[in-house]
Copies of this chain bind each other. A is one copy, B any other.
């Protein structure tokens, strides 16, 4: 795939690097602070392509948006039209007091409103970037789970493939609206890693015993359910 990366943080660099290793063509946008370019290029390797946000979008079928919540307006405005593109958002609505949207909306839904012509898929927002740089066997044969959600099936299939190519376990979490349930999980991971001092090498995995074949019959299984 032709993949564009908007955002030059650890997450964008880490995923772009892994995808490039898998034979995808990856273009990064130049970092906002040019003095960071050297270190960033070193992380990614010599084959990286670079461009302005508009170059990146023109180049790519799939665009990863990996910028802080406060930066999405500028980033999407710099990027120009995303019509027809698959836009992967790993943006979490973190603010000084916690999550800035939730319950009745989510960062992914707000981003989708800003670029209605793009097929937005939320993914990669509950994993720490550092695990993208770790040795392949940090978690043995049990890779961490990446929940992804969105409303466009073709776009979701592409994203599931890219999750696998990043060495992670894709789990389809339904429509884009379910980002309301995934973004708080990112906040929980931040609390565990930071406030609870568990570090940045922790990750969640959804376990699904091979013997389990019965679909859940009702909404009665979790306490407080609507049944």
Which of A6-14, A19-27, A35-43, A49-57 is found at the contact surface with chain B?
A6-14
Q: Are B139 and A207 closer than 8 Å at their CB atoms? A: yes
Q: Which of A196, A213, A219 has the most CB of B within 10 A?
A: A196
Of residues 169 to 227 in A, which have CB atoms within 8 Å of B's CB atoms? Answer: 171-174, 178, 180-209, 211-216, 218-227
For A171, list chain B residues within 8 Å (CB): 192
Residue from B7, B201, B202, B216 in contact with A223 in the complex, judged by beta carbons closer than 8 Å: B7
For A186, list chain B residues within 8 Å (CB): 222, 224
User: Closest residue to A182 on the B side, CB-wise?
Assistant: B188
Q: A11-B223, A68-B226, A201-B208 are in contact. Are A172 and B196 (CB under 8 A)?
A: yes
Residue from B95, B102, B220 in contact with A102 in the complex, judged by beta carbons closer than 8 Å: B102
For A193, list chain B residues within 8 Å (CB): 215-216, 221
For A95, list chain B residues within 8 Å (CB): 226
Which of A77-85, A113-121, A124-132 is found at the contact surface with chain B?
A124-132
Closest CB in chain B relative to A190 CB, distance in Å: 6
User: Closest residue to A185 on the B side, CB-wise?
Assistant: B185
State the interface size on chain A (CB cutoff 8 A): 86
Q: Are B222 and A189 closer than 8 Å at their CB atoms? A: yes
For A209, list chain B residues within 8 Å (CB): 138-139, 201
Q: Are B204 and A216 closer than 8 Å at their CB atoms? A: no
For A214, list chain B residues within 8 Å (CB): 199-201
Q: A201-B212, A208-B201 are in contact. Are A224 and B188 (CB under 8 A)?
A: no
Q: Which chain A residues have a beta carbon within 8 Å of chain B's beta carbons?
A: 7, 9-12, 66-69, 90-96, 98-99, 101-103, 107, 124-130, 138-139, 142, 144-145, 147, 171-174, 178, 180-209, 211-216, 218-227
